[in-house]
Amino acid sequence: MRSFLCKRMIHMIAVLIGISLLSFILANISTVDPAEAYARRISKAASEEMIAQYRDELGFNQSIPEQYLNWLKNAIRLDFGNSYSTGRPAMQDLLSVMPVTLLLAGLSCVLIFIAAIPLGIVSALKEGTWIDRLIMGLSFISISVPGYFLGLLCLLIFGIYLNIMPVVGHGHPITLLCASLILSFPMIGSLARILRSLLLENQKSAYVVYAKARGISKRKVMINHLLRNAAPPCIIMYGQNVGYLIAGTVIVETIFSAQGMGQYVLTAAIGRDFPVINAYIVLMALCFVICNVAAEVCGMLLNPGLNREGRI
What are the tens digits of pLDDT across the range 85-100? 777 888 888 888 888 8
Phi/psi for 266 (5° steps) reads: -60, -45
Residue closest to 211 by CA, chosen among 222, 200, 201, 195? 222
Indicate if the pLDDT at residue 264 is higher than 80.
yes
Mean pLDDT of 106-132: 88
Confidence category of residue 312, pLDDT binned at 50, 70, 90: very low
Type of residue numbered 240 = Q
Phi/psi for 310 (5° steps) reads: 90, 15
**What single string gives the DSSP state of each residue in 34-69?**
HHHHHHHHH-TT--HHHHHHHHHHTTTTS-HHHHHH
Report the range of poorest mean pLDDT among 165-174, 194-203, 278-287, 299-308: 299-308
Indicate if the pLDDT at residue 166 is higher than 70.
yes
Mean pLDDT of 99-124: 88
Can you give the pLDDT at residue 175? Answer: 84
Question: What's the CA gap between 160 and 73, in Å, rounded?
Answer: 51
Can you give the pLDDT at residue 134? Answer: 92
Q: Mean pLDDT score of the chain, rounded to an integer?
A: 80
Can you give the pLDDT at residue 44? Answer: 64
In 10 A of CB 39, how many CB atoms?
23
Mean pLDDT of 170-181: 82
Q: For residue range 21-72, what is the model confidence (pLDDT) as tens digits? A: 887 777 666 666 667 766 766 666 667 777 777 777 777 777 778 878 888 8
* pTM (2 d.p.): 0.78
Mean pLDDT of 94-122: 88
Can you give the pLDDT at residue 33? Answer: 66
155-183 b/e with 16+ CB inside 10 Å = b? Answer: beebbeeeeebbeeebeeeebbebbbbbb
Mean pLDDT of 300-310: 58
Regarding predicted confidence, which is higher, 84 or 149? 149
Give, to the nearest 10 degrees, the angle between helix 147-154 and helix 173-203: 140
Region(s) of the chain under CATH 1.10.3720.10: 97-306
Can you give the pLDDT at residue 306? Answer: 53
Can you give the pLDDT at residue 308? Answer: 45
CA atoms within 13 A on the CB side of 293: 19
Indicate if the pLDDT at residue 292 is higher than 70.
yes
Tell me the three state secondary structure of residue 7: helix
In 10 A of CB 297, how many CB atoms?
18
Q: Pick 97-306's CATH classification: 1.10.3720.10, 3.65.10.10, 3.40.50.880, 3.30.70.1230.
A: 1.10.3720.10
Can you give the pLDDT at residue 310? Answer: 42
